[in-house]
């Protein structure tokens, strides 16, 4: 199956000459001022998008406000976000604010924190954004379909004191499965085959809904680039060349600045990275961010001016973002929980429970379209995985007993990887991020990862694989903080 798509990806990319990227990216941004009393309208609607580039035809999509991605919502740290969500689709939906340590009732999870917003209905999302950084939003109902059709947008929370950069750009990176006529391939959508393997991967990559983009820079400029993987299931391998790069934040949370020596950043679905790019080459040079997981696809070009240089070079000084002040963990006496992941193609799962009822793998697939399980349970269980007292440190040992990588996402909190047992430490060194706060952690096949976090946000929180087909196919659970 994959072979065929590789081929068509190459063909589509070649056939349309998309490797030569020329457009400047449109970034639609709504700045919600502190004074603004009236909420911003975010409407789920169907529409058309020029995913293949200007003049190369329209693809029918579902979107927020008719744009892919939806509007960038930008607020200052600790400011209120107030969004009037209107559902003008024929399918129920919600908005989940990914990575935000949000008030539980605003988390947008159907069946756990709110009812689905029915077609024609509205829901008011109002919450404080406590952490500066790069976040995003997407539906949390039939996400495998709604996200694949184009429903996502970025949420940027600005630091109270802005950092010194010449440009600040936010890029939502997506992976689409398009047919040769440029329309979404929908027959495979929701099919168990895709769900049991690595999830839905596509043949066309986009940056902010376009095949690629370019911006003008000057030698000596310093740029903050926020990258967000909004794909359903593709793990992006991003290669940066023609400038020097340092990582300053992961999944919104600041990290000690780290030079990107390998030039490669791995971003699992839903993960974000904030990079500082220093354009330290001569005038007339070019820097490129490419995606290299299958073939090299240049996504973003930074074209150095032919002559001009930045007047006040500030390169190579580390940028240290101020801490968002997440609670300190107490690992001396944590609540210990184990999560055993099983199932999927080439797994040996024979049975699993759904709503307390044990089913053979055949029944599981036939009756519930599920193929994965957490601790022998497929899909959202009635009882939580665990219940923690507010303020308690939780230590979660996750065993990947499947033949596939997974991107485990925690709601309402950030967690730290405190231990990783891996068969190929060299490979996992590329995506492991020990002792940094993350909301999504990539685990390779056969790995065991120990994570810990402080359960300090009261409510019922989802915990699932963000390869969205895996979530839909059973990799979903929840915990509560009381
Ligand atoms: Cu980004 Cu539960 O989701
Ligand atoms: Cu998964």
Per-residue DSSP letters for 188-215?
TTT-HHHHHTT----SEEEETTBS-EEE
Cα 33 to ligand 2 centre (Å): 38
More confident residue, 20 or 102: 102
Q: Which two tokens stand for residue 236?
A: 């992006």
Residue 464 CB–ligand 1 contact under 6 Å: yes
Q: Smallest Cα–Cα separation from 466: which of 432, 431, 441?
A: 441
User: What distance, in Å, lies between the first and last C-alpha atoms of the chain?
Assistant: 46
In tens, the pLDDT along 350-400 reads 999 999 999 999 999 999 999 999 999 999 999 999 999 999 999 999 999
Mean pLDDT computed over 103-131: 97
Mean pLDDT computed over 2-12: 37
Cα 20 to ligand 2 centre (Å): 34
What's the confidence (pLDDT) of residue 25? Answer: 43
More confident residue, 426 or 412: 412
User: Closest residue (by CA) to atom 3 of ligand 1?
Assistant: 98
What span, in angstroms and rounded, lies between the C-alpha atoms of 203 and 7?
Answer: 8
Tell me if 108 sits within 8 A of 95, measured CB to CB: yes
Mean pLDDT computed over 121-126: 97
Residue 462 CB–ligand 1 contact under 6 Å: yes
Residue 210 CB–ligand 1 contact under 6 Å: no
Count the alpha carbons within 13 Å of 214 in the hemisphere toward its beta carbon.
16
In tens, the pLDDT along 270-293 reads 999 999 999 999 999 999 999 999
Nearby residues of 240 by Cβ (< 8 Å), 6 or more positions away:
260, 263, 264, 265, 275, 277, 287, 288, 289
What span, in angstroms and rounded, lies between the C-alpha atoms of 289 and 240?
Answer: 5
Q: Residue 18: is its pLDDT beyond 70? A: no
Q: Residue 21: is its pLDDT beyond 80? A: no
What span, in angstroms and rounded, lies between the C-alpha atoms of 250 and 238?
Answer: 15
Ligand nearest to the CA of 473: 2
Which of 127-141, 153-167, 313-327 has the weakest average pLDDT? 313-327
Which of 15-24, 135-144, 409-418, 441-450 has the weakest average pLDDT? 15-24
Mean pLDDT computed over 64-73: 93
Q: Residue 208: is its pLDDT beyond 80? A: yes
Tell me if 473 sits within 8 A of 371, measured CB to CB: yes
Ligand nearest to the CA of 140: 1
Tell me if 132 sits within 8 A of 159, measured CB to CB: yes
Q: Residue 188: is its pLDDT beyond 60? A: yes
Residue 98 CB–ligand 1 contact under 6 Å: yes
What's the confidence (pLDDT) of residue 311? Answer: 78
What's the confidence (pLDDT) of residue 102? Answer: 98
Ligand nearest to the CA of 475: 2
Q: Residue 318: is its pLDDT beyond 90? A: no
- In sequence order, what DSSP letters do the residues of 161-175 get, joined into one string? S----SEEEEEEEEE
Q: Residue 13: is its pLDDT beyond 90? A: no
Q: Residue 144: is its pLDDT beyond 70? A: yes
What's the confidence (pLDDT) of residue 24? Answer: 38
- In sequence order, what DSSP letters do the residues of 51-102 get, joined into one string? TT-TTS--EEEEEETTBSS-PEEEEETTPEEEEEEEE-SSS-B--EEET---
Residue 140 CB–ligand 1 contact under 6 Å: yes
Q: Which residues pair with 154 in a beta bridge?
A: 136
Q: Residue 1: is its pLDDT beyond 50? A: no
Q: Is 133 left (phi over 0), alpha (psi -120 to 50) or beta?
A: left
Residue 411 CB–ligand 1 contact under 6 Å: yes
Which atom from ligand 1 is nearest to the alpha carbon of 138? 1
Mean pLDDT score of the chain: 91
Q: Parallel, antiparallel, or unpaired: how do β-strands 415-421 and 476-481 relate?
A: unpaired
Count the alpha carbons within 13 Å of 73 in the hemisphere toward its beta carbon.
29
- In sequence order, what DSSP letters do the residues of 298-318 get, joined into one string? EEEEEEEEEEEE-SS--TT--
CA angle 191, 95, 368 (to 5 degrees): 30
What is the phi/psi pair of residue 144, to 5°? -55, -30
């Amino acid at each position: 199956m994959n072979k065929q798509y590789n081929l068509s990806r190459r063909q589509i990319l070649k056939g349309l000459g998309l490797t030569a990227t020329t457009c400047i990216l449109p970034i639609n941004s709504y700045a919600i001022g502190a004074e603004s009393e009236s909420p911003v309208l975010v409407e789920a609607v169907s529409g058309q998008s020029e995913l293949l580039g200007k003049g190369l035809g329209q693809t029918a999509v579902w979107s927020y406000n008719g744009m892919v991605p939806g509007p960038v919502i930008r607020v200052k740290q600790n400011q209120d976000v107030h969004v009037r969500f209107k559902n003008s689709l024929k399918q129920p939906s919600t908005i989940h604010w990914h990575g935000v340590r949000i008030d539980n009732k605003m988390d947008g999870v159907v069946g756990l924190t709110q009812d689905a917003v029915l077609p024609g209905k509205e829901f008011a999302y109002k919450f404080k954004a406590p952490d500066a950084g790069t976040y995003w939003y997407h539906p949390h109902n039939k996400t495998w379909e709604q996200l694949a059709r184009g429903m996502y947008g970025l949420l940027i929370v600005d630091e109270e004191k802005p950092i010194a950069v010449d440009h600040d750009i936010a890029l939502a990176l997506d992976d689409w499965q398009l047919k040769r006529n440029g329309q979404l391939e929908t027959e495979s959508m929701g099919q168990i085959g895709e769900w049991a393997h690595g999830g839905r991967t596509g043949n066309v990559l986009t940056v902010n809904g376009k095949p690629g983009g370019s911006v003008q820079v000057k030698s000596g400029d310093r740029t903050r680039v926020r990258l967000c993987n909004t794909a359903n299931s593709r793990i992006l391998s991003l290669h940066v060349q023609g400038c020097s790069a340092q990582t300053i934040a992961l999944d919104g949370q600041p990290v000690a600045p780290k030079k990107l020596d390998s030039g490669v950043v791995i971003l699992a679905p839903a993960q974000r990275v904030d990079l500082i790019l220093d354009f330290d080459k001569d005038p007339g040079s070019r820097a490129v961010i490419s995606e290299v997981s299958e073939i090299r696809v240049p996504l973003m070009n930074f074209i150095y001016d032919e002559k001009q240089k930045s007047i006040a070079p500030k390169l190579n000084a580390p940028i240290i973002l101020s801490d968002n002040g997440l609670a300190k963990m107490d690992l001396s006496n944590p609540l210990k929980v184990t999560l055993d992941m099983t199932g999927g193609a080439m797994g040996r799962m024979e049975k699993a429970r759904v709503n307390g009822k044990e089913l053979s793998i055949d029944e599981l697939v036939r009756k519930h379209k599920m193929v994965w399980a957490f601790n022998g349970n497929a899909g959202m269980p009635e009882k939580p995985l665990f219940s923690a007292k507010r303020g308690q440190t939780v230590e979660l040992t996750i065993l990947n007993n499947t033949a596939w990588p997974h991107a485990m996402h925690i709601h309402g909190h950030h967690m730290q990887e405190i231990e990783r047992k891996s068969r190929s430490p060299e490979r996992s060194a590329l995506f492991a991020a020990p002792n940094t706060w993350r909301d999504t952690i990539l685990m390779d096949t056969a790995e065991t990862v120990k994570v810990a976090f402080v359960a300090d946000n009261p409510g019922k929180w989802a915990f699932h694989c963000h390869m969205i087909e895996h979530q839909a196919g059973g990799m979903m659970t929840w915990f509560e903080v009381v």
